[in-house]
Structure 1
Amino acid sequence: MWPPVELLVFLLSPLAPGVLYTMNNVPLLQEPLPILGMGMFVLGSVVLLLLLTVRHRKNVDPLFYVFAAFSFTCLVGLTNALEQDGYISGFMGFYLKKGEPHLKSAYAVMMCYWEGVVHFLLFLTMIHRMFSEKSYRSMGLLWAGSFIAQQLVFIPGVAIGKYGSNIRPAFWRNTPFLLVPIWAASVLFSRPREMPIITADKVAAEQQRGLLSRPVDLLLSLMLLGAMAFTVFRGFVVMDCPLDYCFTYIYQYEPYLKDPVGFPKVTMLLYLFYALPLLAVFIYGLRTPGCSWMLDWTLFFAGAVIQTQWCHLGGSLHSRTPFTYRVPTDKWWPIFTLNVLYAVVPALLALRCHFSPAYFMKAVPKGQTSNDKKKK
């Protein structure tokens, strides 16, 4: 009787700190190119072990290898976060010096906590559901949004921020961590979604209700409008808008936006050019029946915004951020509330679409049921 695959992955992942500790104490492995080579070798070895683990199984989902390999790297990130916050030592010194010195920043520490806890748990859960022949598509879209957004902020932030002049070869290991999740997201989007059985009459009745007769959707639309206004405002702030309101905000309320690490600026620009159009499209989806794409994209978007807001807010409050760029003590509550609300709105929208999808389902002939349950 073979042990559960998720248990094997769980037991394999904690080897990451041991690898880091060994590399930290072997001088030959503490130069830029050997660090990159050793990293690729270790990751390749993990993939090989995974292949051996499931060799007796038929029709293994290709996303298993992505989830399992990335779960190993999640523990690398968690090790870094714990060392930077002083809970452990002797694991990351060599890597931060000759590999990726930008991982010492507050933003990167918060990102590593998210990887080591949230992403790791998501991976184990999705692997369990995968081999239990249960659906994991919705959870996968949530992870894909989170992971892709993480890399879209992290990679450009390193390049344009104060660490851009000190990029080492190991930095380029992040390239597959952007490309592979994009491929995984395309696979997940292409798979049929699982829908509850809802009669056509119920779908039609729900879709005949206007926005004013749907108070929850009306409230969500207003909250999305508020999020759009906040997105535009902070986008102007990081682009050095000369208006007094922008000047006051960046110096007296959220000085983290001008931190030279680059991550806050990239985050706000990502919101301005990508989140803003999506927020507008979601308002359209709440007003127009039959927009089935809302069921997927709200999950993807919620994962992206929750992750970026966790890193942004955490970075603005973390002790590794210079005092002059941290949120002032007397402005802590309003800034904390605004940033939390910005993350909560997409999450509430995704929950609304997931638990009450009738309004977004395609119309079907009267008297029939809408899409029967499909495997994701």
Structure 2
Amino acid sequence: MRLPVEVCVFLIALQAPAVLYTLNNIPALQESLPILGLGVVVLGTVLLLILLTVRHKQTVDPLFYVFAEFSFTCLVGLTNALEQDGFISGFMNFYIKMGEPHLSTAYGVMMSYWEGVVHLVLFLTVVHRMFTGKSYRSLALLWAGSSITHQLVHVLGVVVGKYGSNIRPAFWRNAPFFVAPFWAASVLFGRPRDTPIVPADKIAAEQKKSLLSRPIDLQLLVLLLGVAAFSLFRGFVVLDCPLDSCFTYIYQYEPYLKDPVAFPKVTMLVFLFYAVPLLTVLAYGLTTPGCSWMLDWSLFLAGATCQAQWCHTGASVHSRTPFTYRVPADKLWPVIILNVLLAAIPALLALRCHTNPAYFMKAVPTGHSSDTKKDN
């Protein structure tokens, strides 16, 4: 009796702590170059085990190999987060010292928690649905948005921050993990989306409604524009805008934006140059019927903003952030609530798009229903 594929993937991923503990106790791993070589060997071995897991399958979605390989690194990330927060020890010292010291920062810890919990759950769920014939495209798009943001902030933050002057060879093991989410996203966007069967007359009726007769959409529109405006403001703040409001905000509300690790600065710039235009486009989609791309891009943005805000908010109050850069105690809850809203609003938009998609579906001739496409 064969175990389900997702169980096999999880069992392979569970070997990560054992591998880390073993490598941590090898004296030869006090140099950075051997760490890179061993990292390649370990990841190659994991890929071989994954290939053996599905050798009896006639056809396997290429995305499966990405999700399965990333599942292993998720457990590496979770092990790192638990060790940096003092719950375990003896697993990551060698890698933090000679591989990627930035993973011991507050941002690195919060990033590792997100990767080790949220991403792992998404991977196992997607793999399960993949091999049981169920749709998984929407969940995979949620991961794609989250993972692309994760990689952009992680890699660029290291390069331009205080760790950029001493990048170790092991850091370059991130190269394939940086490229893979972009490739996966391009594959997912190129596949047909899963749309429910909706009568044409219902689609027509929904698309005839004005924005004023859709109060939920009107509120979402205002909130989206608010998120875009605040993201624009914080982008100006990290670009050293001389306005008094920018000066007041960075010193009295979020001094973490000045942290020399550069992760918060890169996060704000990613919001400024990528999230703000996408928020504006999504706001347009809320006012224009038939924008079926809203179903995909709302999910992508929800994944991206949730990941970014979790890491940014958590790191700004984490004990590993120097006290001078943490959120002041008297501003703690306003800042946390504001950052939670910045993640929640795109998530609410995605939920709205998928619970009642008629307004965003292409109009079809009266008397017909929209077709459902399988989302594999």
TM-score normalised per structure 1: 0.99
Matching of residues 177-256 of structure 1 within 5 Å: 177-256=177-256
Secondary structure of residue in 1 paired with 2:153: helix
Q: Distance in 1 between matches of 2:236 and 2:88?
A: 40
2:63 aligns with 63
Shift of 1:11: 1.1
Residue 352 (structure 2) pairs with residue 352 (structure 1): yes
> Cα deviations across residues 69-124 of structure 1 (Å, max 9, x unaligned)?
10001000011100000000111111111100111110010000001000001111
* Count of aligned residue pairs for this structure pair: 376
In structure 1, stretches of 5+ residues that fail to align are: none
Aligned amino acid, residue 319 of structure 1: S
Q: Distance in 1 between matches of 2:150 and 2:271?
A: 13
1:118 aligns with 118
Structure 1 segments of 4+ aligned residues over 3 angstroms from their partners: none
Aligned amino acid, residue 362 of structure 1: K
Q: Distance in 2 between matches of 1:264 and 1:373?
A: 40
1:343 aligns with 343
Aligned amino acid, residue 193 of structure 1: R
Aligned amino acid, residue 247 of structure 1: F
Cα contact 2:102–2:108 (8 A) shared by 1: yes
Aligned amino acid, residue 200 of structure 1: A
Shift of 1:180: 0.8
Matching of residues 26-45 of structure 1 within 5 Å: 26-45=26-45
Q: Distance in 2 between matches of 1:201 and 1:265?
A: 48
Cα contact 1:29–1:38 (8 A) shared by 2: no
Shift of 1:373: 4.2
Cα contact 1:161–1:260 (8 A) shared by 2: yes
Shift of 1:64: 1.0
Shift of 1:298: 0.5
Cα contact 2:192–2:373 (8 A) shared by 1: no
Secondary structure of residue in 2 paired with 1:26: coil
Q: Distance in 2 between matches of 1:323 and 1:56?
A: 55
Shift of 1:375: 3.3
Shift of 1:241: 0.9
Shift of 1:232: 1.2
Secondary structure of residue in 2 paired with 1:193: coil
Secondary structure of residue in 2 paired with 1:202: helix
Name the % identity.
72
2:3 aligns with 3
Secondary structure of residue in 1 paired with 2:28: helix
Matching of residues 315-330 of structure 1 within 5 Å: 315-330=315-330
Q: Distance in 2 between matches of 1:357 and 1:153?
A: 32
> Cα deviations across residues 164-187 of structure 1 (Å, max 9, x unaligned)?
111100111111111011111111
1:287 aligns with 287
Aligned amino acid, residue 74 of structure 1: C
Q: Distance in 1 between matches of 2:8 and 2:282?
A: 40
2:103 aligns with 103
Secondary structure of residue in 2 paired with 1:28: coil
RMSD of aligned C-alpha atoms? 0.8
> Cα deviations across residues 283-312 of structure 1 (Å, max 9, x unaligned)?
100000000100000000100000000000
Secondary structure of residue in 2 paired with 1:89: coil
Q: Distance in 2 between matches of 1:98 and 1:119?
A: 26
Aligned amino acid, residue 204 of structure 1: A
Cα contact 2:313–2:336 (8 A) shared by 1: yes
Aligned amino acid, residue 198 of structure 2: I
Shift of 1:372: 2.7
Q: Distance in 2 between matches of 1:228 and 1:204?
A: 30
Q: Distance in 2 between matches of 1:228 and 1:194?
A: 29
Q: Distance in 2 between matches of 1:314 and 1:149?
A: 16
Secondary structure of residue in 2 paired with 1:316: helix
> Cα deviations across residues 214-255 of structure 1 (Å, max 9, x unaligned)?
000000000011111101111111011111111111001100
Aligned amino acid, residue 100 of structure 1: E
Cα contact 2:237–2:250 (8 A) shared by 1: yes
Aligned amino acid, residue 9 of structure 1: V
Secondary structure of residue in 2 paired with 1:27: coil
TM-score normalised per structure 2: 0.99
